Amino acid sequence: MTVLYYRGALSSCNYTCPYCPFSKTVDSMEVLAEDRKQLEQFVAWVRGQAASGMRLSIFFNPYGEALVHKWYREAMVELSHMAHIDKVAVQTNLSAKLDWTGELNRKTAAFWATYHPEQTTEVRFLSQGSQLYKQGLSFSVGTVGLKKYFEPIQSMRQALPEDVYLWVNAFKDQPRYYSKEDLVLLQAIDPYFQHNLRDYESLGQSCRTGLDVFFILGNGQVKRCYKDKRVLGHLYRDGLAALSAERPCQLKQCGCYIGYVHMPELPFESIYGASLLERIPQRQFQA
């Protein structure tokens, strides 16, 4: 199976989280039109791989909120029904209308839903999540572990169904940000929090990125991962088979979930299994 992370020209979000780069720009109509064109080209390429025998899993990881735009919703639906697609997942703040999700293939579609307490209410977010839950759509809920969010994070954990995983991304901008008591609290909410709390030494280490995991930009450029600036080639000109090779990491450390989960010596494939992209553990609450 080949995993593709996709990021087009979109660089705007309907939220204004101060810790997030996604909230700092407003896209023009021209940029949005380009983003739509890029996504349609990407979906057409994926559609064309049906006869190749290649099985694909796709994660939409835009610099912004994707699902407020019709073309991402349409892409999710179409991709979820393609026979050679094992998974199509999206990173979203879950603010968009969900009246279209009934068209998704529940076996392949999934959501990485981020909860931002200062941007929405618990009631609103839970209502959105409830719609996914009732439809049998896979989703995880995540948030940033800022201290001012501890109370709403605890409240969200109590309000969510027990079988919905709530993960916490460690806030690493300030050294020694968490006290021992903070760590106990967060570990009780997210039993895998300890894994995100640290950065992993990655220089020269084996990683699936560049071999069977690729980061695709809207203009067709292919990279190992979102942090590695090296361009391996062009998706529409070269194809993936010609670009696939063992490529040890050239970065000193990896501290982001969508990067370090592809380092084979780490335990994440055994923890998340087939739900690695949407970040749902195979066995709930077993660190």
Decide if 29 is inside a domain.
yes
Decide if 281 is inside a domain.
no
Whole-number pLDDT of residue 28: 85
pTM: 0.94
pLDDT along the chain (287 residues), means of 10: 95 71 73 96 97 95 93 98 98 95 98 93 97 97 96 97 96 93 97 95 96 97 95 97 94 95 95 95 65
Token code pair at residue 178:
């968490």
Decide if 287 is inside a domain.
no
Whole-number pLDDT of residue 20: 66
Decide if 157 is inside a domain.
yes
Question: Where residue 235 sits, what CATH number does that domain have?
Answer: 3.20.20.70
Whole-number pLDDT of residue 119: 86
Element (H, E) at 61: none
Whole-number pLDDT of residue 21: 62
User: Nearest CA to 122 among 155, 95, 99, 94?
Assistant: 155
Decide if 282 is inside a domain.
no
Decide if 268 is inside a domain.
yes
Decide if 108 is inside a domain.
yes
Angle between helices 150-159 and 180-189 (to 10 degrees): 20
Whole-number pLDDT of residue 286: 47
User: Nearest CA to 61 among 144, 124, 3, 133?
Assistant: 3
Whole-number pLDDT of residue 11: 87
Decide if 48 is inside a domain.
yes
Farthest CA pair distance, the chain: 54
Distance, in Å, from the CA atom of 56 to the CA atom of 275, rounded to the nearest integer, reads 14
The domain tally of the chain equals 1
Q: For residue 256, what are the domain limits?
A: 2-275
Whole-number pLDDT of residue 287: 43
